[in-house]
Every structure is written in C-alpha cells, then in structure tokens.
Amino acid sequence: MGNTGKNEFNFWPYAIVSMILTVVMLGIWTIKVAVNNPVQEDNSYMMKYQDVDEKINEILASQKMFDEKYRIDLSGNTLKLGENRIEIRVVDKNGNPVEGAEVIAIVTRPTTSKDDIRLNEFEWTGEKFLSEPFELKRGGRWNIEVKVTIEGTNGFKTYKTFVK
C-alpha cells in the first residue's frame, strides 16, 4: 500500500551525465584551440629564451659595461611599406661616432617571429651604420631589435615603430 500511484522522476543522473559530457567537450575545445595557436618563441637578446635564462647575469653585466661607454641611437628610423634601410648610430659618451662595431639587427613584429627580417650586413658611412635594403610587405607594429658588439661587450636596443 506504499505505492500512491505517482511515478517520481529523478533528474540527478541526467545532470551528472550532462556535467561529465560538458567537461569532456570543454577539454576537447581547449586542446583544439591550443593546437591551432602554437606558442611563439621569444627571441629577446637575439637568443632562445632558454639561453637567455641561463646567461641573463652575463648579458646584463655586458649591457651595463656597454652603457657606461657607448650609446645606441635608433631614433632616426621610420619604416614604410616597400624598400627600407635602417640607420644605427653608435656614439661614445662624448658624442663621437664609434667605428668598427659589429652590428646585427632584426626587424620583427611584436607578436610573431614568422615575419622576421635579419640584417647582418651594415655599411659604415662615417657617422652611422646603414643596413642592407630590405622590404616590408605588411603594415602595423614593428620592432627594430639591435645588438652591437664593441671590444667584447654587447649592447642591445629595441625601437618600436608603426608602418602605414
């Protein structure tokens, strides 16, 4: 006589199953997004981040020694679509141009390294180092990252610009 004729329906098993399916679907979605957006390697100081992490104290000490003697000036650079050249002025603390420096530059976008343009050939003009010609095909934000080596000390400088 305990049965009143009423059929009770319990939703708890359906709620638990739907929560489990939701978690599985969100896991699949997370993996799909991660695979479609791979990690971009940071190339600060023109090295892999593992090398920078391992040698950061030596890099900063070399930068400090460089900054005590020299200054890198990139302020005269404006990039545009098409052919470009960059100017790098290296001066001592008295403002005299420094000749004989080893200069390397990378023109890169801040969020990706797939558009990097590495510049190794620089011409000394008597006052500044002038890069080989290179071409920019895309507008937007660009960075000019420079490494200058003089007498075993390294100086680094980043110049941010916008290309229209």
Q: Could you write out the DSSP letters of every residue in the chain? A: ----S------HHHHHHHHHHHHHHHHHHHHHHHHHSPPPPP-GGGS-HHHHHHHHHHHHHHHHHHHHHEEEE-TT----SEEE--EEEEEETTS-B--S-EEEEEEEETTEEEEEEEE--EEE-SSSEEEPPEEE---EEEEEEEEEEETTEEEEEEEEEEE-
For the chain (164 residues), the mean pLDDT of every run of 10, in chain order, is: 67 94 97 83 80 92 95 91 95 92 93 88 93 94 94 93 90
How high is the pLDDT of residue 41? 67
How high is the pLDDT of residue 46? 86
| CATH number, domain 44-163 | 2.60.40.10
Annotated domain spans of the chain: 10-39, 44-163
pTM passes above 0.95: no
Specify the amino acid at residue 128.
K
